[in-house]
Structure 1
Amino acid sequence: MRALLVVAHPLEASFAKAAAARIRATLERRGVEVDLIDLYADDFDPRLTAVERASYFTTPYDARAVADYVERLQHADRLIFVFPQWWFNMPAILKGFFDRVLVPGVAFDHAPGGGLIPRLTHVEAIWVVTSTGAPWWATRLYMGDPVRRQISRGVKAFVNRKARFRMLTLHDMDRMTEARAGAFLGRLERAFRDF
């Protein structure tokens, strides 16, 4: 089993980095090969280039600028995304990763007459670990949980509609305590034992 763990946070001492480290350690203890992509450490450019956009509906899509990420994605059978929610959405750097790496010829093909055909059908699971400054009710009830919808209905459909999806969110980070943060890290460790 090979997991691709993508983390998106600019601060080394962030909760997202601590969560990613706990997940990685848990999986490696189970014998899972973990490939970590730290988008900020890599200085990943989230901007879709003119060449990339121009080739979006041509064959083959020009993914040369992100070829290393494409190869790593294609070799994974589990995907994990770890990031904070800012303004009820993912960081722009992660959105750019989706825009530039989950592309035609890599994650999907355009179907004749419209629609898409997933190409990463070997991906068995997509898990998301995130945090938000808002309380759970604001994220879920008031905003409609936009990150969950975008990844579970959008990204998953482009990757593998049959992949297992799970999202673990630590809410109310603006009023976080060490005890609550520690309890959530423990919850992550237990959850990823079954990943």
Structure 2
Amino acid sequence: MKKNILIINGHPNKESFNYALANAYQQGALKSGAQAELIHIGELNFNPNLQYGYSKRMDLEPDLLISLEKIKKADHLVWVHPVWWGGLPAIMKGFIDRLFLPGIAYQYRENSVWWDKLLTGKTARIITTIDQPAWYYWIFYGNPSVNQLKKSTLEFCGIKPVAVTYIGIMKTSVEKQRAQWIAKIYQLGEKHK
């Protein structure tokens, strides 16, 4: 059976290197025979603001309904995003806020601090671009964007294992390095990792 892979690009700019990385992963996965779909969050039409918090459910816009179905049927989720101010781009955070909801991604148990993880059986990879060495981001900042997405979102909802690939240092990169990074991500796509 073909592996069903969903690549989710959180960078809003179509000209970004993150777009190229997401496309490279998809091309590698397709070449290997996997089913691989791609969501560019910046191209979706939805309100990223969880307007009422969790006190009142907002209706999901058509683009979010389609995205939710793709997430549900995927075996492997690949999240591609830059680190901005130690975190995720606002549009990506809004996408998660609007879709990873109680009853969809997790469900708290009545009269309990525990919850049910509704997205178990899926795996994930985070591909994140950074403007500092990965070791510096880890030692001095504690990997905030990775912790947020990996531990507080994906693993919280039952998705595991979650692998992480750091791409950078972006601001000092040259064309040769970028070509090597594209090739690396293409190979990850071929291996479905």
Does TM, scored on the shorter chain, surpass 0.5? yes
Give the counterpart of 1:100 among 80, 98, 101: 98
Identity %: 23
8 Å CA contact retained: 2:5, 2:78 = yes
Residue by residue over 1:21-71, the C-alpha shift from the partner in whole angstroms, topping out at 9 and shown as x without a partner, is 100000011111122111111144311132x6323xxxxx65533322222
8 Å CA contact retained: 1:7, 1:81 = yes
Query: After the TM superposition, which residues 102-121 of structure 1 pair with which residues of structure 2 at under 5 Å, given as runs?
Result: 102-112=100-110, 113-121=112-120
Residue by residue over 1:59-96, the C-alpha shift from the partner in whole angstroms, topping out at 9 and shown as x without a partner, is xx655333222222111111111111111111011111
Q: Which residue of 2 aligns with 1:147?
A: 145
Counterpart Cα distance in 1 of 2:73 and 2:28: 20
Moved more, 106-115 or 64-73: 64-73
Secondary structure (helix, strand or coil) at the match of 2:185 reads helix
Counterpart Cα distance in 2 of 1:158 and 1:99: 14
Q: Which has the higher contact order (CA 8 A, sep 6+)?
A: 2
Q: Which residue of 2 aligns with 1:127?
A: 125
2:37 counterpart of 1:29: no
Counterpart Cα distance in 2 of 1:173 and 1:17: 14
Tell me by how many angstroms 1:135 deviates. Answer: 2.8
Residue by residue over 1:95-140, the C-alpha shift from the partner in whole angstroms, topping out at 9 and shown as x without a partner, is 11111111111111112312211111131x1101110122334311
Residue by residue over 1:134-187, the C-alpha shift from the partner in whole angstroms, topping out at 9 and shown as x without a partner, is 2334311111111222222111223325x2211111122111111111111122
Letter of the 1:100 counterpart: R
Runs of 5+ unmatched residues, structure 1: 56-60
Counterpart Cα distance in 2 of 1:54 and 1:114: 18
4+ runs of 1 displaced by more than 3 Å? 61-66
Letter of the 1:160 counterpart: G
Using structure 2 for the length normalisation, give the TM-score.
0.88
Secondary structure (helix, strand or coil) at the match of 1:117 reads strand
Runs of 5+ unmatched residues, structure 2: none
The count of aligned residue pairs is 187
Letter of the 2:141 counterpart: M
RMSD: 1.8
8 Å CA contact retained: 2:117, 2:156 = yes
Using structure 1 for the length normalisation, give the TM-score.
0.87
